[in-house]
Amino acid sequence: MKENDGVHGEHVHEGEHEEHGGMEHEKHEHEGHSHAKHHEMMMEDFKKRFIVSAILTVPILILSPLIQNFFGFELTFPGDRYVLFGLSAAVYFYGGWPFLKGMRDELKKKLPGMMTLIALAITVAFFYSAAVTFGLPGKTFYWELATLIDIMLIGHYIEMRSVLGASRALEELIKLMPTEAHLVTPEGVKDVPVSELKKGDVVLVKPGEKIPSDGLILEGETSVNEAMLTGESKPVYKKPGDTVIGGSINLEGAIKVRIEKTGKDTYLMQVVELVRQAQETRSRTQDLANRAAFYLTLIAITAGAVTLGAWLYLGKPFVFALERMVTVMVITCPHALGLAVPLVVSVSTSLSAKKGILIRNREAFERAKDVQVVVFDKTGTLTEGKFEVTEVIPLDELDENEILRYAGALEAHSSHPIAQGIVEKAEELNLDVYEVKESKVLPGKGVQGVINGREVFVVSPGFLKENELWREDERVKEVLEQGKTVVFLVIDGRLVGALALADKIRPESREAVEKLHEMGIKAYMLTGDNAKVAKWVAEELGLDGFFAEVLPHQKSERVKELQEQGYTVAMVGDGINDAPALIQADVGIAIGAGTDVAIESADIILVKNDPRDVITGIHLAKATYRKMVQNLAWATGYNAFAIPLAAGVLYGYGILLSPALGALLMSLSTVIVAINARFLKV
């Protein structure tokens, strides 16, 4: 598990990267610690600096004339102002160091932000006071400076803690991975760390324990809880030969599992990696937030300067005006703004991962909230994609078994659901299939290869028509009328047989279509299969429309046409033939155990074969967006009352904020953003 310790969202801490600048990275390289650890180290650093500064603040307060006046005592001794200066300098340099350093990093990146503001504020306060100590007429500012730094330090500490909480979601995924396994060896069962497992090892998993890594059941029957991994809430029954996922919980029986994948290759780690990558991809909302943060910094500096000028103009002492300026700059820190979006992203990616919805592309996921049309692929998406051969129809000299020998041989080289159905039928009848040379998949059409020196095809009706091999036949017509999928065997340019296959509509599909309609979203179907089957499925499900006998490139054209009509389109598919359409769509969604090509082309992956997850995904996208907007609105909007308050507009009513109180409010606004993000739900 070593290599995975650091995966928890780099991106999450983006806000902090900006604010603590390069500090974190330098440490990272030198000490080689994981990111999560750093975060904790930084937290400790803030805590230490806070404690030291707070202790130093006590004598500063006692020595301050204003405080003495307030509590009605007097404490003076020769040179006391130099002591005050010394203590304050210590607080400024030691407690203020993270901010000063942060400013340097921000300016180096030409991106003044949060740290620049704080550093500027404390620097102005300190040097002005120092000048007064050494002769400039005026009043010092030391206790305000010290308390401001204290509050900033503790505020950062608290914020980092809440941020850590929000970003832990990804870590929770990693924590699903067990650490120990019972390895079966010739000498008996031995407990070993999971990291030592190798492919081919056999492990024993007792009831109630987690499956240590992805593998295959060799012995024993059980049911497994995969809820945390795929969102499937019901226990899944497993028997020898079935695959199990590392991290899922073995519920009933003891099983022996042969390890198939370890470390980074396991399902769970791939999910973690996907989630991490998704968190790193920039989203439009994040860009917006970053730009806003930059402008807010400029506004803060301007507002500070205006405040200073205005109070001086109104005839207030310089120290009063300066204090207001510092408060304005502190309260306007765009800290909450920097974290508003990353925190939501972090919570939403891991939340959706737990529901079996993997987000690969955040920008597309953001678009999912606006989807108006969902286009489904038929086979394997709306239907189960488990074809069963129901009829074999000889159309030439070959008999049924012979047709299956040829077709089964070719289909062994294809991963299409039709292919699996045919292969299974040949196996069922114990037929020895032929050997194939030069096999080739024709996406959306069929397969091709050389058997016994003859050119063999198993193809769609469309392919036959295209090549003028189509022949009317009563029996073929009949199975087509029944809404079956029919493919044809062609040998050396001659049509020799037809195979009819039946598939089942997924029971979840109907509900998915209904729910989409409730949301005002249209549902279409695209299929390479024949129009009769397509029509039957479309009517069964109440679809808004369908396109049949479309080739892969036509699938993407259909999607494009819908887009040209002004719709935001999501495409849901599983096959190689869907890949171009997945790319073309505004949101490409690969379903279930889809082919790798489909997964690579998709923006979102649904782990389960459940079309209803499309709806969950859309809901999640909407909820995520709402949270982002709420956070952004809060993080910017709070300035509307904070800035005037800090500037002292309510001074006439006796309300005046000290810089420390300003810092407190600023930190509070960030904590609110973090808490709000954590409450994301669907």
Residue numbers at the binding site for ligand ADP (CB under 6 A)? 377-379, 411, 414, 416, 418-419, 444-447, 458-460, 485, 487, 527-529, 575, 577
Please tell me what DSSP assigns to residue 243.
E
Q: Which CB sits closer to Mg ion, 304 or 575?
A: 575
Which range of residues in 223-231, 253-261, 379-387, 601-609 is near Mg ion by CB under 5 A? 379-387
527 binds, among ligand ADP, Mg ion, none (CB under 5 to 8 A by kind): ligand ADP
The whole-angstrom separation of Cα 333 and Cα 326 is: 11
Residue 670 φ/ψ, nearest 5 degrees: -70, -40
Angle at 204 between CA 200 and CA 209, to 5 degrees: 120
If one asks whether residue 575 binds Mg ion (CB under 5 A), the answer comes out as yes
Residue of 45, 105, 150, 377 marked catalytic: 377
Q: Which CB sits closer to ligand ADP, 458 or 476?
A: 458
The whole-angstrom separation of Cα 162 and Cα 168 is: 10
Give the CA distances from residue 218 to residues 181, 222, 238, 254, 407, in Å, rounded to whole numbers and listed in that order: 16, 12, 11, 11, 31
Q: Which CB sits closer to ligand ADP, 195 or 420?
A: 420
Q: Which CB sits closer to ligand ADP, 485 or 624?
A: 485
The whole-angstrom separation of Cα 617 and Cα 231 is: 12
Please tell me what DSSP assigns to residue 369.
G
Which one among 9, 96, 246, 380 touches Mg ion, defined by CB under 5 A? Answer: 380
Q: Which CB sits closer to ligand ADP, 323 or 411?
A: 411
Whether 242 sits among the annotated catalytic residues: the reply is: no
Q: Which CB sits closer to ligand ADP, 199 or 440?
A: 440
If one asks whether residue 377 binds Mg ion (CB under 5 A), the answer comes out as yes
447 touches 441 (CB < 8 A) = yes
167 binds, among Mg ion, ligand ADP, none (CB under 5 to 8 A by kind): none
Give the CA distances from residue 166 to residues 3, 161, 205, 283, 631, in Å, rounded to whole numbers and listed in that order: 22, 9, 33, 18, 14
Site track for Mg ion across 531-570, x = CB under 5 A: ----------------------------------------
- Listed in order, strand segments (DSSP E) in 151-293 are 180-185, 188-193, 202-205, 215-219, 222-225, 236-238, 243-244, 249-250, 255-259
Structure tokens at 12: 């999450």
The closest of 125, 126, 97 to 20, measured between CA atoms, is 97
We find the least distance from the C-beta atom of residue 540 to ligand ADP, in angstroms, to be 15
We find the least distance from the C-beta atom of residue 397 to Mg ion, in angstroms, to be 33
We find the least distance from the C-beta atom of residue 527 to Mg ion, in angstroms, to be 8
Q: Which CB sits closer to ligand ADP, 436 or 680?
A: 436
592 binds, among ligand ADP, Mg ion, none (CB under 5 to 8 A by kind): none
If one asks whether residue 379 binds Mg ion (CB under 5 A), the answer comes out as yes
- Listed in order, strand segments (DSSP E) in 444-506 are 446-451, 454-459, 485-491, 494-502
- Give the nearest residue (CB) to Mg ion: 575
SS3 label, residue 568: coil
The whole-angstrom separation of Cα 13 and Cα 33 is: 16
Place of tokens 């991490």: 276
657 binds, among Mg ion, ligand ADP, none (CB under 5 to 8 A by kind): none
Neighbour count for residue 397 (Cβ, 10 Å): 9
We find the least distance from the C-beta atom of residue 198 to Mg ion, in angstroms, to be 36
SS3 label, residue 346: helix
We find the least distance from the C-beta atom of residue 545 to Mg ion, in angstroms, to be 18
The whole-angstrom separation of Cα 293 and Cα 488 is: 63
Query: What residues between 301 and 320 interact with Mg ion by CB under 5 A?
Result: none
Q: Which CB sits closer to ligand ADP, 456 or 643?
A: 456
Q: What order of strands is seen across the sheet that includes strand 494-502?
A: 388-394, 494-502, 485-491, 454-459, 446-451, 436-442
Q: Which CB sits closer to ligand ADP, 249 or 409?
A: 409
SS3 label, residue 416: coil
444 binds, among Mg ion, ligand ADP, none (CB under 5 to 8 A by kind): ligand ADP
SS3 label, residue 441: strand
564 touches 458 (CB < 8 A) = no
We find the least distance from the C-beta atom of residue 463 to ligand ADP, in angstroms, to be 7
We find the least distance from the C-beta atom of residue 512 to ligand ADP, in angstroms, to be 17
The closest of 366, 338, 352, 359 to 674, measured between CA atoms, is 338
The closest of 341, 331, 388, 391 to 366, measured between CA atoms, is 341
483 binds, among Mg ion, ligand ADP, none (CB under 5 to 8 A by kind): none
We find the least distance from the C-beta atom of residue 380 to Mg ion, in angstroms, to be 4
We find the least distance from the C-beta atom of residue 406 to ligand ADP, in angstroms, to be 12
The closest of 366, 369, 375, 357 to 571, measured between CA atoms, is 375
The whole-angstrom separation of Cα 496 and Cα 681 is: 57
362 touches 283 (CB < 8 A) = yes
- Give the nearest residue (CB) to ligand ADP: 528
We find the least distance from the C-beta atom of residue 590 to Mg ion, in angstroms, to be 11
What sign for the dihedral angle of Cα 458, 464, 470, 475?
positive
The closest of 337, 293, 329, 294 to 670, measured between CA atoms, is 337
Which range of residues in 147-155, 200-208, 377-385, 406-414 is near Mg ion by CB under 5 A? 377-385
542 touches 514 (CB < 8 A) = yes
- Catalogue the active-site residues: 377
Question: Contact positions toward Mg ion, by CB under 5 A?
Answer: 377, 379-380, 574-575
